[in-house]
Amino acid sequence: MQDAATITDSAKALIELDSAPDLGKSSAFEGIVGESTTMQEIFRLVERVADSDSTILINGETGTGKGLIAHAIHKQSYRKDQPFVSINCGAIPENLLESELFGHLKGAFTGATANKVGKFEAANGGTIFLDEIGDMSQDLQVKILKVLEERCFEPVGGCKTVSVNVRIVAATHRDLEEEVQKGNFREDLFYRLFVIPIKLPSLRQRRSDIPHFVTHFLDCLNRTKKTRVTSISDDALNVLMQHAWPGNVRELANLMERMVVIKGQGEIDLDDLPEKMKNDAPASSFCAPEITGDGLCLNTAVSEFEKRLIYQSLEKTKWVKNRAAQLLQVKRTTLVEKIKRYELQKCA
């Protein structure tokens, strides 16, 4: 397995600015990589709420691991030996979704040649994962609301009510509060779902996890693809650390697969990265964090920005504080005070 020694010094510096994880102790939670403070807090939250049976609403951009977290909730709960049934509410045509969710009786509609058990019934005793719930039609939103409230439903074409015992986990990449305001999502359903919200950070909001992902994917890919790629160079990793990752972990996983398979063995270097990524890197390194539906703390964001600039000036001047203070056009005493406040340290 690739070990922490392959994480380069400059990458470590960038990591320290984020949440200073211990690179020697990379431990995935239910196969989910995440050493950053935010992800560790999410793992602890999952552990705390798993057994509660409370409805959970997972929100995050595409590729941030919503599906993985939903599965982890199930696996951590007392329902873990019962079914985990997942349905993508955005991918099934609206006229079929009701029958998929609640099942149908033979003859309920043209083509219903036999009785069919729906996802809710199939999940009885376990967990149902309603993925992309924000893409559900208004009509179905009413029907889902009833199941959430009463844990019972009628199959399409049937008049007998079926009761189920299921834990509901839902996910969406949309800002549901905003969708409620726009009139696209029912407010009553929103509050039914919004019992325990879990907000997954984008990859650019937790850059310190990138080296851990690289190690994780190198290890997995070498095993599954029978390759012998040993490491990634300092320069290449720095580019990955600075990329904006609009496709989040999925984008990183796919890129790693492409590079590992093509390279086959040895070290991944700058030349192995896509041309576009190398050119984009400097521009995205200091991009402003995204303001999500939850908002952000301006003071924290500004402090983070200041911390990064101070660290950069110290690196540029080999930690000669007089020079670093000149670069930033501040007094040396001001700089020293900020270095102390942010607990900045020279990387070994």
Ligand X SMILES: Nc1ncnc2c1ncn2[C@@H]1O[C@H](COP(=O)(O)OP(=O)(O)OP(=O)(O)O)[C@@H](O)[C@H]1O
> Site residues (CB under 6 A) for ligand X?
32-34, 60, 62-68, 173, 249-250, 253
To ligand X, the closest distance from the beta carbon of 69 in angstroms equals 7
Q: Using CB under 5 A as the criterion, what x/- string covers residues 59-78 for binding Mg ion?
A: -------xx-----------
Helix (H, G, I), strand (E, B) or coil at 148: helix
From 294, 276, 307, 139, select the one nearest 202 (Cα to Cα).
294
The option from Mg ion, ligand X, none interacting with 34 (CB < 5 to 8 A, set by class) reads: ligand X
DSSP string, 26-37: ---BTTB---SH
Q: In the bound complex, what is the minimum distance in angstroms from residue 63's beta carbon to Mg ion? A: 8
| Nearest distance from C-beta of residue 208 to ligand X, angstroms | 13
What residue 197 binds from ligand X, Mg ion, none (CB within 5 to 8 A, per partner kind)? Answer: none
Q: Which is nearer to ligand X, 241 or 339 (CB)?
A: 241
Other C-beta atoms closer than 10 Å to the C-beta of 95 total 9
Residue 246 is encoded by which pair of tokens? 């609009």
Considering the complex, what minimum distance in angstroms separates the CB of residue 64 from Mg ion? 9
Binding partner at 60 among ligand X, Mg ion, none, C-beta below 5 to 8 Å by kind: ligand X
**Min CB(63)–ligand X separation in Å:** 5
Other C-beta atoms lying within 10 Å of the C-beta of residue 139: 11
Share in percent of the chain as helix, strand, coil (round to 5) = 50, 10, 35
**250 and 63 Cβ atoms separated by less than 8 Å:** yes
Residue 253 CB-density burial (10 A; 0-12 exposed, 13-18 middle, 19+ buried): middle
* Count of CB atoms situated within 10 Å of the CB of 275: 8
Task: Return the residue nearest Mg ion (CB atom).
Answer: 67
Q: By CB under 5 A, tell whether 247 contacts Mg ion.
A: no
Minimum distance of ligand X from residue 78's CB (angstroms): 23
For residue 185, count CB atoms less than 10 angstroms from its CB and return exposed for 0-12, middle for 13-18, buried for 19 or more: buried
Q: Which is nearer to ligand X, 136 or 339 (CB)?
A: 136
State the residue number with the nearest CB to ligand X: 65
Q: Which is nearer to Mg ion, 11 or 87 (CB)?
A: 87
Binding site for Mg ion (CB under 5 A): 66-67
